[in-house]
Structure 1
């Protein structure tokens, strides 16, 4: 079995992350079976896709995401920072995203929050998933154990996963106590021993985020079932798949628009 490819924030190595352009491009790659996106909430309580807590990096807006309504957020340009060809790309709502991928891709929905930034976000995400009967197509992940505990309390039938950038000695115990069946871990913190033990305990493992052939192959060698999260599904294909590409053309980025794949996604 080839290690599954997870498109990180969509095909974000080319298209602007967490936009429908990146989602659609990921869906065009026949090897992509999973997609990972980040979910936050507008001022008027609508879940939408964006990674940072502020708008500064990936839109032409400024300030916290939580201070603007969905209409205000969707009026922003979320594509020009990546390339001129994506000018006018919008921030998509979670509903729009789920409607697009339903029955086509499995999704890792990272709940992006901290403290009491987005009261009720978990309920809104769970409701959106259940309305579409997508309980078996998604996993909800977070760095924060309290978020995962709350999801388990109110979201029966929905899988949860802990995101972590290190390997504490009690990691498997933590996952068991949280009733998690998914582990999202920085690829440099993952070992063959941890992967083997996790899979034996019924816990799927996703390693993030690798965009070069060497790192993808090295991580894949740890265990054949590890999900490989990448901004570049075309590089995954070179490293793990047939080696044949779809001749995806990388559009030039604006200066300062690159996303560091080594940064910790907090």
Structure 2
């Protein structure tokens, strides 16, 4: 099974999501070639890595991420909710993650925004990336089309991808209009016909979020280029070993 394995928010089944611990643990897994993460802005305009717009679920803080300065966010515990052993984990900045992962894995960087919540998010993230990474080593993605359009206005050649949990009939047209060559799509919508269409348009497909080795094997069987995004990277090894086991059984003499 050659499909790329993408660690969703790092190794988020074992470590607190979107923390340095989760990213470090993901990089220690040989099968992980990509890490997916979420970026928002602090009140003072610093890109920080966190999924929810509010702080309550994954930190001991409260309120909106955007209403806190970086200094305030850095005081929060972003690990204890997962396990006592991760007590003291902090919300990382994008730059901290870029330094940790550079040359080790590629990044799927989701711009976490809705409407005009973060008008400067795209430009700020691009500034950090251009100082540190080459475009071949990352893709900028978002559910929010305005954010992807902002990326293209700042730098038309940067790789972008639409995130969607549906399969509309005009999906190819939407991607073309956005200038996207990457599609991040909920795994129930990944079909042979979708992959055929996306391949004809030279669009890379990532299926999310797959936490079943059986589903992983089924989707991988559609095409070896499909990226498999999971909270549990160990399942890639499990799915692969079962596939190999079936192959050996089918090829053994009767």
Deviant stretches of 4+, over 4 Å: 241-244
CA shift for structure 1 position 147? 1.3
CA contact (8 A) 2:20 2:97 kept: yes
Tell me how far apart the structure 1 counterparts of residues 135 and 156 of structure 2 sit (CA, whole Å). 9
| Matched ranges for 1:48-67 at <5 A | 48-67=48-67
CA contact (8 A) 2:217 2:243 kept: no
Q: Classify the secondary structure of the residue corresponding to 1:184.
A: strand
* Structure whose alpha-carbon radius of gyration is higher: 2
Alignment RMSD (CA, Å): 1.4
- The aligned residue for residue 259 of structure 1 is none
Would you say how many aligned residue pairs link Structure 1 and Structure 2? 244
Hey, which of these two has a bigger chunk of helix by percent?
2
Structure 1 residues 61 and 188: CA distance shift in structure 2, 3 A: same
Q: TM-score, normalised by structure 2?
A: 0.93
Tell me how far apart the structure 1 counterparts of residues 37 and 199 of structure 2 sit (CA, whole Å). 23
Matched, 1:6 2:28: no
- The aligned residue for residue 232 of structure 2 is 232
CA shift for structure 1 position 243? 8.5
CA contact (8 A) 2:115 2:146 kept: no
Gaps of 5+ in 1: 245-266
CA shift for structure 1 position 118? 1.4
CA deviation vs aligned residue, 1:79-130 (integer Å, no higher than 9, x gap): 0000111000000000000111111111000000112211201000000110
CA deviation vs aligned residue, 1:203-223 (integer Å, no higher than 9, x gap): 100000011111111211221
- The aligned residue for residue 35 of structure 1 is 35
Q: TM-score, normalised by structure 1?
A: 0.89
Structure 1 residues 49 and 242: CA distance shift in structure 2, 3 A: farther
CA deviation vs aligned residue, 1:146-179 (integer Å, no higher than 9, x gap): 2111111112331000000000001011111111
- The aligned residue for residue 91 of structure 1 is 91
CA deviation vs aligned residue, 1:217-261 (integer Å, no higher than 9, x gap): 1211221110000001011111135889xxxxxxxxxxxxxxxxx
- The aligned residue for residue 256 of structure 1 is none
- The aligned residue for residue 175 of structure 2 is 175
Q: Classify the secondary structure of the residue corresponding to 2:38.
A: strand
- The aligned residue for residue 76 of structure 1 is 76
